[in-house]
Amino acid sequence: MNRTGGDSRGGKDPAHGVSLAVTVGAYLLLFALGAVQGLIGTFQYDRGPAPVAAICFGLAILATCVLGSWGMQSASGGVLPAVGWFAVTIVLSSGNSGGSVIVTNTSAGKWFLFGGAICAAAGAVFGFARWSRGSRSRRSGTAGRPPGR
């Protein structure tokens, strides 16, 4: 075995393919989790006292983005739930040709759409700020040094 995990004769380590599949699956699940949160939130944002449920859905997508980026130790772990949330929420909150809308122009609807969008964006920005290459070099004290030294 060489130090890169492969075999010295040029063969590949079979565990690498498994870990890649697990990583891709985790990213897909994070995207799906954000989409499901957007789907449920779009239909349930007005439950209970006016904006309380909507605020809770916003905080839930923020937590998903922050924990996703922390768990995957990458910016993509925080961005993918936000992308899933935005995709589903934008499609479902758009009016149809008959003029019907799911998310109404109420305080709860505004809190859900605008508060959720701000929370999703903040979670994605957290992922970039925490796990970007420049951020890692500042934390480790290697800012300004060429890579590999």
* pLDDT score of 12: 60
Q: Can you state the angle between helices 52-72 and 116-131, rounded to 10 degrees? A: 20
Look up the pTM and report it: 0.77
Q: Please report whether residue 3 resides in a domain.
A: no
DSSP code string of 19-79:
HHHHHHHHHHHHHHHHHHHHHHHHHHTTSSSTTHHHHHHHHHHHHHHHHHHHHHTSSHHHH
Predicted confidence (pLDDT) per residue in 132-143, tens digit: 766 656 666 655
For 31-83, the pLDDT digits (tens) are: 999 999 999 999 998 888 878 999 999 999 999 999 999 999 999 999 999 99
- Indicate the residue type of 119: C
Q: Note down the domain range covering 35.
A: 16-95+102-133
Residue 10, pLDDT score:
53
For residue 126, the 8-state DSSP code is H
- The number of domains in the chain is 1
The answer to whether position 5 is within a domain reads no
Q: Give the integer Cα–Cα distance in Å for 47 and 38.
A: 15
Which one-letter amino acid corresponds to residue 75? A
35 belongs to a structural domain: yes
pLDDT of residue 135: 60
Query: Over the range 102-132, which residues count as b (16 or more CB within 10 Å of their CB) and which as e?
Result: ebeeeebbebbbebbbebbbbbbbbbbebbe
pLDDT at position 140 is 64
Is the per-residue pLDDT at 27 higher than 60?
Answer: yes
Q: Classify residue 143: in a domain, yes or no.
A: no
Q: Which of the pair, 133 or 100, is modelled with greater confidence? A: 100
- State the pLDDT confidence band at 124, using cuts at 50, 70 and 90: very high
| Mean confidence (pLDDT) of the chain | 83
